[in-house]
Amino acid sequence: MLMEKKLVKIGEAAKLLGTSPDTLRKWEVSGELLPKRKTKGGTRYYDVAELLNLGDEDAPTVCYARVSSHDQKEDLQRQQEMLETYCAAKGWRTEVIADLGSGMNYRKKGLNKLLEMILKKRMKRLVITHKDRLLRFGAELVFALCEAQAIEIIIIHKGEQPRFEEELAKDVLEIITVFSARLYGSRSRKNKQLIDKLTEVASEIENDHVTGTQD
């Protein structure tokens, strides 16, 4: 007697694959992953055995994009468009993970999702525009995890991206701001003076970089 197939709704299916329901809907539209059954009301059901047995050829390519601050949202959009265009030219099924936060912050939502997909081997390859888009320091550890899981790593641009010094200054300023607030208190005069001085230094680094670029 054949065992009845276990079917789960789209939310549980997304969790099993380490992705989101919206991504599964996108794959359904493209024909890359279809639900086993779909009711007249639109409820989707997926075969658990089929999901868990997805081979490497069926696993998605994950693109990771990141910027440090809200005023760089246009740059984030450009990164995503570049990654999607690159992967489309290769004919890869892709999922884009975008983060907004410092390259020194290891607790970003998108980064945590990416690490979970790597550890569960729910992806075939990782594509980023520049190495420091992943993390300012520690990217090699993520790369090592990918290599251990036989996940391919592709960095589109090997060199440092523009505005490197500016973003690095902002990242360092963010770290010092947090520590100084804890040390002196967020409203203390000493803390304000320190932050003002650091902001001035960061601005000088940014201006020097812009001037150097124009020369």
Known catalytic residues are 68
- Find, among 71, 102, 84, 98, the residue nearest to 173 by Cα: 102
Which residue, among 64, 137, 62, has the nearest Cα to 100 in the 3D structure? 64
Q: Which two three-digit tokens encode residue 86?
A: 């690159």
Rounded distance between C-alpha atoms, residue 18 and residue 16, angstroms: 6
Place of tokens 């919206």: 22
Edge-to-edge order in the sheet of strand 44-47: 7-9, 44-47, 37-38
